[in-house]
């Protein structure tokens, strides 16, 4: 009889452990399934969907800015950096909105794009939205602050803003302002009513890519650029020890994992078969280059890649000839006068680059040609062979 009771107790214990494991797997599966959803209405930088913003993060990194995602806890970057907030679905707290406004006044640059806005952040930044929608089939630039931007493309509708004298309109739909710039202390705030203008499927439309480049150019080269994922709710990248401790669901999940671990440890059971650790093979630089190229291709960022290659080549030529790269028109005028051969080769290579946008082989040849112009190798060094 005692043996039967012991077996019954063991069965109940096994059922409890199985139930706990099922709950753990269900929670993890829900997070993974939510992350793999092809649509991204919050415009997350973790999403490669057309309305995701992964290409914008890659674009910032390609321009030489250290990039990061704000997750686990909300903290703006350093005072000389730029922060991008796209459609927060988890509302800002009063302290978070106040801290964001204070960070801007200390010299930060904030790009805030949302269809309907966040009440706390709108109040801290003085954003006034008109309770109406306007068709945004044609959005035109309203001033010289965004160089090279004449027209942008985005969604079908946007909520316009009511601006004050210190808020300068950047984009308009007829008489309605759908994007503006405001100086706050030593920093700058750019507010957009349509985040799709900065998303993956729209960066190559109209002048959206130039708009993104102008916004990222508001900070110095090498300044950090942070993307707010903290206010996009639960994502797979938030599964870190710090996120577990700082959120109620994470604390409960952590306690469940600890309980399972201690239970298996006290019972003296292994956590699976013993598997020897494999030696890590060193990765070649070419592998990383291929990986970045594949990310850009999957994100539909071909036009972004072309612009990055052309701009990088112009910067390298400017450095070698001692010319300032900005403004671009003066750079080209000076280059034609100082080094007409280099100017002719660079102009021809850029034309070939943009004309090869539909063919990857031609794109590769054009990129190699730009590289040879930007980083020329002497004939003596080219013929030199390793001993």
Residue 277's pLDDT is what? 74
**Range with the poorest average pLDDT among 125-134, 145-154, 217-226, 237-246:** 237-246
Average pLDDT of 62-74? 90
Indicate whether 36 pLDDT > 90: no
What dihedral do alpha carbons 275, 279, 284, 290 form, nearest 10°?
0
Residue 27's pLDDT is what? 62
Strand order from edge to edge, sheet including 151-152: 67-70, 225-228, 82-86, 109-113, 187-192, 176-184, 167-173, 139-141, 151-152
Indicate whether 217 pLDDT > 50: yes
The encoded tokens of residue 350 equal 């850029």
For residue 327, report the phi and psi dihedrals to the nearest 5 degrees. Answer: -70, 150
Q: Which residue has the higher pLDDT, 237 or 328?
A: 328
Question: Model pTM greater than 0.85?
Answer: no
Q: Which residue has the higher pLDDT, 26 or 162?
A: 162
Average pLDDT of 309-326? 76
Residue 370's pLDDT is what? 72
Residue 24's pLDDT is what? 64
Contacts for 129-134: CB closer than 8 Å, 24+ residues apart: 129/159, 129/160, 129/161, 129/162, 129/193, 130/159, 130/160, 130/161, 130/162, 130/176, 131/159, 132/159, 132/160, 133/157, 133/158, 133/159, 134/158, 134/159, 134/160, 134/173, 134/174, 134/176, 134/178
Residue 62's pLDDT is what? 92
Residue 100's pLDDT is what? 95
Residue 235's pLDDT is what? 44
Count, residues in the chain = 387
With a pLDDT cut of 90, the percent of the chain lying above it is: 29
Q: Which residue has the higher pLDDT, 108 or 147?
A: 108
At 82 the three-state DSSP class reads strand
pLDDT tens digits along 281-309 = 555 655 766 676 676 666 655 666 667 77
Q: Which residue has the higher pLDDT, 360 or 259?
A: 259
Indicate whether 33 pLDDT > 70: no
Q: β-strands 176-184, 187-192: how paired?
A: antiparallel
Spatial distance between the Cα atoms of 192 and 196, rounded to a whole number of angstroms: 10
pLDDT tens digits along 167-184 = 999 998 888 999 999 999
Residue 82's pLDDT is what? 96
- Residue pair 237/71 in contact (Cβ under 8 Å)? The answer is yes
What dihedral do alpha carbons 261, 264, 267, 272 form, nearest 10°?
-140
Indicate whether 245 pLDDT > 60: no
- Residue pair 167/190 in contact (Cβ under 8 Å)? The answer is no
Band (263; pLDDT cuts 50, 70, 90):
confident
Band (238; pLDDT cuts 50, 70, 90):
very low
Preceding amide of 327 cis, omega within 30: yes
Bridge partners of 192? 113, 179
Residue 56's pLDDT is what? 94
Band (351; pLDDT cuts 50, 70, 90):
confident
- Residue pair 154/198 in contact (Cβ under 8 Å)? The answer is no
- Residue pair 350/364 in contact (Cβ under 8 Å)? The answer is no
């Amino acid at each position: 009889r005692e043996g039967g009771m012991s077996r019954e107790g063991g069965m109940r214990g096994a059922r409890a452990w199985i139930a706990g494991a099922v709950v753990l797997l269900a929670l993890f599966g829900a997070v993974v399934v939510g992350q793999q959803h092809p649509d991204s209405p919050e415009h997350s930088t973790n999403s490669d969907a057309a309305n995701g913003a992964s290409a914008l993060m890659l674009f910032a990194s390609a321009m030489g800015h250290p990039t990061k995602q704000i997750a686990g806890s909300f903290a703006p970057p350093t005072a000389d950096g730029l922060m991008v907030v796209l459609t927060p679905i988890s509302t800002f707290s009063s302290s978070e909105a106040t801290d964001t406004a204070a960070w801007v006044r200390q010299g930060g640059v904030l790009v805030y794009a949302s269809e309907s806005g966040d009440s706390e952040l709108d109040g801290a930044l003085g954003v006034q939205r008109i309770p109406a929608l306007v068709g945004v089939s044609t959005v035109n630039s309203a001033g010289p602050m965004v160089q090279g931007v004449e027209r942008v493309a985005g969604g079908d509708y946007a909520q316009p803003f009511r601006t004050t004298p210190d808020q300068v309109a950047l984009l308009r739909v007829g008489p309605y302002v759908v994007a503006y710039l405001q100086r706050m202390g030593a920093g700058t705030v750019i507010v957009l009513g349509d985040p799709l203008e900065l998303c993956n499927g729209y960066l190559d439309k109209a002048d959206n890519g130039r708009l993104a480049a102008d916004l990222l150019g508001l900070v110095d080269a090498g300044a950090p650029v942070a993307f707010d994922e903290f206010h996009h709710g639960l994502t797979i990248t938030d599964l870190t020890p710090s996120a577990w401790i700082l959120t109620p669901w994470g604390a409960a999940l952590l306690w469940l994992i600890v309980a399972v671990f201690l239970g298996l440890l006290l019972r003296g059971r292994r956590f699976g078969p013993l598997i020897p650790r494999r030696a890590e093979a060193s990765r070649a630089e070419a592998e990383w280059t291929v990986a970045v190229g594949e990310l850009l291709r999957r994100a539909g960022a071909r036009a972004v890649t072309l612009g990055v290659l052309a701009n990088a080549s112009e910067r390298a030529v400017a450095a070698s000839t001692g010319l300032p790269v900005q403004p671009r028109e003066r750079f080209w005028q000076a280059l034609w006068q100082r080094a007409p051969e280099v100017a002719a080769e660079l102009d021809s290579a850029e034309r070939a680059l943009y004309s090869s946008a539909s063919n990857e082989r031609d794109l590769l040849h054009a990129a190699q040609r730009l590289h040879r112009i930007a980083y020329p190798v002497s004939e003596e060094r080219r013929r030199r062979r390793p001993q």
